[in-house]
Structure 1
Amino acid sequence: MVDLPSRARVVIVGGGVIGASVAYHLTKLGWSDVLLLEQGTLSCGTTWHAAGLVGPLRASESGTRLVQYSAELYAALEAETGLATGYRNVGGVIVARTEDRMVQLRRTAANAVAYDMPCELIGPERAQELWPPMQVDDLLGAIWLPGDGKVNPSDVTQSLAKGARQRGARIVERVRVTGFDGIDGPAGRRVTGVRTDRGDVEAEVVVNCAGQWAKALGDLVGVTLPLHSAEHFYVVTETVAGTHPDLPIMRDPDGWTYFKEETGGLVVGGFEPEAKPWRSPDDLPYPFEFQLLDEDWEHFSVLMDQALVRIPALEETGIRKFYNGPESFTPDNQFLLGEAPGLAGYFVGAGFNSVGIASAGGAGRALAEWIVAGEPQDDLVAVDVRRFAPFHGDHAWLRSRVSEVLGLHYAVPWPNREMESGRPQRTSPLHDRLAARGAAFGTRMGWERPNVFAPSVDYSWGKPAWLAASAAEQRATRSDVAVFDQTSFSKYVVSGPDAVAGLQWACAADVDVPVGHCVYTPFLNGRGTYEADLTVTRTAADSFLLVSSSATTIRDLDWLARHGVPARDVTEDHAVLGVMGPRSRDLLASLSEDDWSEEGFPFATSRLVTVAGVEVRATRMTYVGELGWELMVPVADAPAAYDAISAAGATDAGYSAIESLRLEKGFRAFGRELTPDYGPVEAGLVFATALSGTKDFLGRSALEAHRAALAAGGPRRRLVSLVVESPEPMLWGGELLLRDGVPCGQVTSAAWGETVGSCVGLGYLRHDGPVTSDWLAGGGFQVDVAGERYAVRCSLRAPLG
């Protein structure tokens, strides 16, 4: 038995494909003092029974690049390590039975063009040529993805592990981690090592890659990792005529199934509409090595019945093996990556939602780069572990949610789709009132938020039925006055003698302003790109109120703490009512004796006032581009304030209207226009920083260098506003942009703009020179909407700017 060292710079917990990839990439970056611990043997948990599909094209550019790297790595790894991975670039076919699915495939093909990935829309006959075993009588079309591949998961793991060993990593099997050590310091808690059934190991960094067991290990140190296992099924058939080793992967999402060749037969698997959760995360068996669960033919029948529709020969084909292997899923179908909030040095790579093999290469590299550099080197917001809060760790809630999440893998990915299970989690004090008035709610960070006041909400690629209600809310905001429940805003207080200095470093804008003034500012990282987008209001000489996105509470608080700015979360202490529109001043003045005039209450100022007998903090700030105030109201007083505002004539409006209104004004959103892949120069927001002054701030030197590099010429990206010339198409974001027929960018956000009379949006354009107003005015721009192209006007100025 191999003895454990008493110390290692990095200890990785878990020897599946993710843990092996992290070890491989850490050593490739020069960190050789790496110890990987596996409770059984390498790949014995979820990895060994994975189907091994590697499809690089994903819904986002960052996700596509991550899997694209995986495919390149697996293809080249044998030459480095001498161990084959079984990787074969066989291509992939995705077929469509319905017009809704065809729209999705056309949008996917446009995404592929935007990401420079090969993809071809094909007809049923061509699909059958590529995949002879299937019948195509009921198909409308398909896409061909030449970049898809397949791999042997256990072989990949062994090859990655050997590569890590060759550069100094140690891998020890049959060691069970039972806990972690940590210390409390000036900057908060930090992990200092792991405890095992074979002794303790000191460590500077711990990486939890324990798969289904990751949540239980996180719970030991108060780290929330919302994971729950579900049973995942596939069978391997006897020989099927027409198969061969280079047969492409075939996916039939309308039948919830996928197929790949294996030893002359087929792997037949899928994602059934209603999944089967497995045991609670704190009740997983040990040992559990290379084990499967009992066969469940009744549950699998929904997939097998659809497989028979696509491949009639299966009626006469025997089954070699039934696989029922549990694996873990997250509440939003995105994996968990990054440094855990509140525990420095504790990193996570888990919860890969059936795409672990495809993602492992890229995810392992991204996590290793994060560990070495001290911050992410790419846009990982969608998979950042800090997108979840402690309440997301509830086992009963996770069990409810995972059944829905797995079932959505092959569902039509409708724009703005909302999860249905496990709701509600958090409600504002106005929830019941708004529900009674017909609000259709969506969720963000667990909050129930009114999206639109409509009798029902349908999903559609085109214009949905509820759009008329949203348009009415937009008209009310632009011409009269509307009230929005914005309680879900994240709200933090930073106070004390170091508050000014701390925020001056953390904020790119100058926040050392008079009391009562509000500043719009980004948080930038060391690369000069976005980490947050928020407002900072000075409420006293040594106290500030920060208001940020609903979804980023944990991320923002952790980011501030790691940069020496402790903040107090007051999100749940206050409701927020947005009173917006040209008549907002008159309405509020009718309910208050305070001065709401232009001179008495200028833009970007904030103060305590009384509205309908309730003391509130009113901030003259808007995300819709009209005169208006955000009223921060004590929770207990919110119903009374809302009732008075509503009785005074304000129209109820929701977040769908906000989306349209902010795009007509060209206002950016974090996570879409503002991400760690972009900085203020590309986003057109240098004015929201202190770059023109002498104040130093985090990311300043990188931002200066970036501005200088772009001024010197060469390729660049630039965010522009766009308006579709025709009122016919509906845009949702993600659409391909072209100039003179040549791909030049992608829409980041889009919505129906009622005031403009067509869809509006924002998008990043690629150009080999400066993106100037004159160049944009030259025209020739189009947007691809599911294969149909429409003229668009692009401008540096917003449509209603």
Structure 2
Amino acid sequence: MTTLPTHARAVIIGGGVVGCSVAYHLAKLGWTDVVLLERKRLTSGTTWHAAGLIGQLRASSNMTKLARYSAELYTGLEAETGVATGFRVVGSISAALTGERLEELHRSAAMARAFGVPVEEMSPAEIKAKYPHLNIDGVTGGVWLPTDGQADPGNIALALAKGARMRGAVIAEYTAVTGVTRAGDRITSVSYEGPEGPGTITCETVVNCAGMWGHQVGRMLGINVPLQACEHFYIVSEPIKDLGPLPVLRVPDECAYYKEDAGKMMLGAFEPVAKPWGMTGIPADFEFDQLPEDFDHFEPILEAAVNRMPMLGEAGIHTFFNGPESFTPDDAYHLGLAPGMDNVWVAAGFNSIGIQSAGGAGMALAQWMDDGQKPFDLGDVDISRVQPFQKNRRYLAERASETLGLLYADHFPYRQKASARGIRRTPFHDRLDANGAVFGELAGWERANWYAQPGQEREYRYSWKRQNWFDNVAEEHRAIRTGVGMYDMSSFGKLRVEGRDAATFLNHVCGNDVDVPVGRIVYTQFLNSRGGIEADVTVTRLSETAYLVVTPAATRVADQTWLTRHLGDFDAVVTDVTAGEGVLAVMGPRARALMQAVSPDDFGNDANPFGTAQEIEIGLGTARVHRVSYVGELGWEIYIGADQATHVFDTLWQAGQDHGLKLCGMHVMDCCRIEKAFRHFGHDITCEDHVLEAGLGFAVKTAKADFIGRDAVLRKRDEGLKTRLLQFRLTDPEPLVYHNEPILRDGQIVGYLSSGAYGHHLGGAIGMGYVPCAGESAEQILASRYEIDVAGTRVAAEVSLKPMYDPTGARARL
């Protein structure tokens, strides 16, 4: 019987592979007073029935780094702990059945090269040679990742648990957490019911690693962990004579993966429409349980698999398995310090990749907990990305029915979720809809991404090439560059910071100096202690004691959380006012003429200079205009109270008919901003990108009072830059770039694009990306020959340190 302490530095809730990994890595860092509480047996939720596939290539560099770490960790665990993990490097093949899927695989192969993952493109014949049991009818090609592997999921978890115990961690089974004590934004103790009865552990931190129970455990802890359990199916064949080791095989166009294990074949599926499970709660006695078989649901997958792998039709089925796994609204797991609490951490919702992710996720979270800051950019999985509404259980069930299938769907650029839509709408939604808007969704917001022509279908036709809205966006682009366009920015986050210390507080958090006259707008970043960028915002001084911080829609929660965690003793409050105002951006050379047509106020440079905000009359109402631009043109962002928003829209739209006004969407904003080399937070700039290497030194004022990151900025100025963010334009106007395409300098891969879009004015695809530059001058960097690898084809690219469009910024100041 395990004797539990009365106090712990960390209490981990959940004994699956992720919880065991967090315990292992905390103990490895010297946290000897770690307690892991498991309600039943270790691995008894999802881990025990996982497929155990260990893939190393993920959708971003850092997620790949974590997956590779997992594989390296599992390789040495057996020698360290004496527990066999069954880890074998067998390689993996992904086979395409369409041209679009093949391009996706070729783009992923290019990305692998940029990330340093061994990869080979394969012809159908080469796939057949490596996997002779496969029927290659219809196969268009594929990729081979030789260092991928497979392992025993349960034993990996048990090895991690043993490694944690060897370093002093306490792990208790059949010990269910029943409640917590909360003091302000901290959990101070955890109550449990164990084999010897109830007890309480006071604690400094709590980690929610409860897997498919993570959502309800989150509610107990006072945090939002949006995830939903879904049924997940696989079959295992009878033994197949003379079947030897095989690579893992994925045929995503048939929603299937195959794994050889001990002379049997496993067939698993990620079907397009999944079956959510446990919406009313998971049974209290659930332990190593299976769900009822549903052969009718699985049958279409099996039929295709028998054709693709004929030996399956001859071998017979030994096991038909249906077990639950948890899925999140965006198919990315939840990791990090939960918004709203100061000592509650999360590692949950692994979307059927828990085994390949657990080692790296546990390592990253443990380092984050130990250091107090992320070890590197974890924006893809940082739980601060989640939105408050996403805890809604009906929303989770509807969205999870789609996200499971999206794991093996074509990962087309700009792909929109189809389920659980229409939750957050701006005041202009109906007006935009009536004028042909095609909506996408971000952070729950319905946003007009592009506008269809009369009679044109109002939906996406996805492709890796030019999609059906390419020409529409080109016209919108032309309007902004040569006339006037208007788009809806209401979804962008709006945080009101006010109080006696508002200016002092924001100057502590921001790199730029925000102690400016009332009405001034300051572009700035929130920096961390390493000079990395935690947020990219504008700060407008509304009064002596009040500011408006405008953030990207997707990072509003994260940015508000960053502010509140640094408030300390400052006399200030932070309030989310996003829904209180609608925002219309009026941009283009004719923007001033349109504004003067709807308002008696003066929009000239003397009365309304760039970088200022002021109250105006507009139509029959009032608004506040911010003279800034994310598209690089003359223009205004118009902030309107929600009660007057549609009136102002109607006023502008009616007057705009005499000025050639065109409604524009979010896609064109991205196309325009990348021509101007404006950075995109989360892609071009992240918490591990130094503000000076990102080319944003102009937005940092080290002469002001001390601020977070100031020392790191001064050090970097002394040391010199190791890398620089460059802008690229493909000289061939046809290929498209999105992000993660390798950058080649004089024939050698030196980096990858952090973002990409089409520059309709510049006449080619534009990308941004970091290139090593230690000891080099700007002239030396630019003197090299650059190419971008697009799906295996090297395309020549022009390169620039300054914006290729309007490098002096004169157009926004017309």
User: TM-score, normalized by length of structure 2?
Assistant: 0.95
The question of whether the paired residues in 2 share the 8 Å contact of 1:535 and 1:547 is answered with: yes
Secondary structure in structure 2 of the residue aligned to 1:4: coil
Over residues 638-681 of structure 1, what are the superposed CA-to-partner deviations in whole Å (9 max), with x where a residue is unaligned?
Answer: 11111111112221001110000001101001101011121112
Name the structure 1 match of 2:640: 633
Q: Equivalents in 1 of 2:692, 2:80: separation in Å?
A: 40
Contact 1:776 1:794 (C-alpha < 8 Å) held by counterparts: no
Contact kept, 8 Å, 1:132 with 1:242, in 2: the verdict is no
Deviations 1:138-172 (A, max 9, x none): 21111110110111011111110111111110001
Counterpart residue identity of residue 743, structure 1: I
Structure 1 distance, partners of 2:136, 2:629, is 53
Q: Which residue of 2 aligns with 1:697?
A: 707
Superposition pairs of residues 299-698 of structure 1, within 5 angstroms: 299-454=297-452, 455=456, 456=458, 457-564=460-567, 566-649=573-656, 650-691=661-702, 693-698=703-708
**1:242 and 1:724 mapped to 2: Cα distance?**
52
Alpha-carbon distance in structure 1 between the residues aligned to 2:413 and 2:241: 39
Amino acid across the alignment from 1:168: G
- The answer (yes or no) to whether the contact 1:779–1:794 under 8 Å persists in 2 is no
Specify which of 787, 790, 795 is matched with residue 795 of structure 2.
790
CA distance in 1, matches of 2:704, 2:774: 31
2: CA distance between counterparts of 1:682 and 1:131?
Answer: 46
- Greater shift after overlay, 191-200 or 651-660? 191-200
- CA shift, 1:481, in A, is 0.9
**Structure 1 counterpart of 2:670, which letter?**
E
Structure 2 equivalent of residue 239 of structure 1: 239
For 1:629 and 1:32, the matched residues in 2 are separated by 57
Partner of 1:80: 80
Q: What SS class does the counterpart of residue 116 from structure 2 fall into?
A: coil
Deviation at 1:266, TM superposition (A): 0.8
CA distance in 2, matches of 1:566, 1:15: 39
Task: List, as ranges, runs of 4+ consecutive aligned residues in structure 1 with deviation greater than 6 Å.
Answer: none
Instruction: Please list the CA deviations of residues 575-608 of structure 1 after superposition, one character each: whole Å capped at 9, or x if unmatched.
Output: 0010111111111112111121011111111111
Specify which of 700, 708, 719 is matched with residue 725 of structure 2.
Answer: 719
| Aligned-pair identity (%) | 45
Kindly provide the amino acid, as one letter, of the partner of residue 785 in structure 2. Answer: G
**Structure 1 contact 179–217 (Cα < 8 Å) conserved:** no
Q: CA deviation at 1:768?
A: 5.2
Moved more, 252-261 or 189-198: 189-198
Counterpart contact for 2:581–2:642, Cα < 8 Å: yes
Cα offset for 1:733? 2.2
C-alpha contact 2:596 2:602 (8 A) present in aligned 1? yes
Partner of 1:2: 2
**Native 8 Å contact 1:131 1:248 kept in 2:** yes
Deviates more, 1:324-333 or 1:787-796: 787-796
Instruction: Return the alpha-carbon distance in structure 1 between the equivalents of residues 650 and 760 of structure 2.
Output: 27
- In structure 2, give the amino acid aligned to 1:766: P
> CA offset at residue 750 of structure 1?
1.5
Distance 2:297 2:519 in 1: 61
What is the CA distance between 1:319 and its match in structure 2?
1.4
Q: 1:241 to 1:730 in 2, by over 3 A?
A: farther
Measure, in 2, the Cα distance between the counterparts of 1:681 and 1:254. Answer: 44
CA deviation vs aligned residue, 1:215-259 (integer Å, no higher than 9, x gap)? 1111123311111110001111122356324x2111111111111
Q: Helix, strand or coil: the match of 1:594?
A: coil
Task: Give me the whole-angstrom Cα distance separating, in 2, the residues matched to 1:435 and 1:459.
Answer: 21
What corresponds to 1:753 in structure 2?
759
Alignment of 1:211-290 (within 5 A): 211-240=211-240, 243-245=243-245, 247-280=246-279, 282-290=280-288
Residue aligning to 2:811: none
Spell out, residue by residue over 1:340-360, the C-alpha distance to the aligned partner (whole angstroms, 9 max, x if none): 111110111100000000000
Q: Distance in 2 between matches of 1:459 and 1:735?
A: 19
For residue 383 of structure 1, give the secondary structure of its aligned residue in structure 2. coil
Deviations 1:269-323 (A, max 9, x none): 020111111121x511112111111111111112211211211111111111111
Tell me what 1:55 maps to: 55
How many Å apart are 1:419 and its aligned residue?
0.3
Which residue is 2:719 aligned to? 709
Q: Distance in 2 between the 1:137 and 1:242 partners?
A: 24
2:212 touches 2:349 (CA, 8 Å); kept in 1?
A: yes
Aligned pair count reads 789
Residue 212 of structure 1 and its aligned partner are, at CA, apart by 0.8
Is contact 1:133–1:242 with CA below 8 Å preserved after alignment? no
Moved more, 221-230 or 660-669: 221-230
Contact 1:429 1:639 survives alignment (8 Å): yes
**Match of residue 92 from structure 1:** 92
Which residue is equivalent to 1:735? 741
- The Cα offsets for residues 177-205 of structure 1, whole Å up to 9 and x where unpaired, read as 11211102xxxx11112121221111010
CA–CA separation in structure 2 for the residues paired with 1:555 and 1:478 = 33
Residue 424 of structure 2 aligns to a residue whose secondary structure is coil
The alpha carbon displacement at 1:776 in A equals: 4.1
Letter in 2 for 1:306: A
576-585 or 644-653: bigger deviation: 644-653
C-alpha distance in structure 1 between counterparts of 2:2 and 2:122, whole Å: 55
**Cα displacement (A) at 1:694:** 4.1
Q: Which amino acid aligns with 1:737?
A: I
> Which residue of structure 2 lines up, in the alignment, with residue 43 of structure 1?
43
Contact 2:114 2:740 in 1 (8 A): no
Instruction: Check conservation: 2:587, 2:629, Cα contact below 8 A.
Output: yes
Supply the AA of the counterpart residue of 2:734: E
- Checking the alignment, whether the CA contact within 8 Å between 1:779 and 1:793 is kept in structure 2 is no
Asked if structure 2 preserves the Cα contact closer than 8 Å seen for 1:272 and 1:302, the reply is no
Give the superposition deviation at 1:769.
Answer: 4.1
Aligned-partner residue type, residue 256 of structure 2: T
Counterpart contact for 2:773–2:781, Cα < 8 Å: no
* Deviation digits for residues 525-567 of structure 1 (CA, Å, limit 9, x no counterpart): 1221011000001111111111010011111111111101631
CA contact (8 A) 2:187 2:221 kept: no
- Residues 389-398 or 738-747, more deviating: 738-747
Give the Cα separation in 2 of the matches to 1:354 and 1:536: 41
Q: Secondary structure at the match of 2:230?
A: strand
CA distance in 2 between partners of 1:526 and 1:355 (Å):
32
Tell me the secondary structure at the aligned position of residue 284 of structure 2: coil
- Distance, in Å, in 2 between the alignment partners of 1:495 and 1:621 is 22
Give the superposition deviation at 1:267: 1.1
CA contact (8 A) 2:237 2:315 kept: yes
Q: Indicate conservation of the 8 Å contact 2:2/2:171, yes or no.
A: no
CA RMSD between the two structures: 1.3
Local SS of the residue matching 2:644: helix
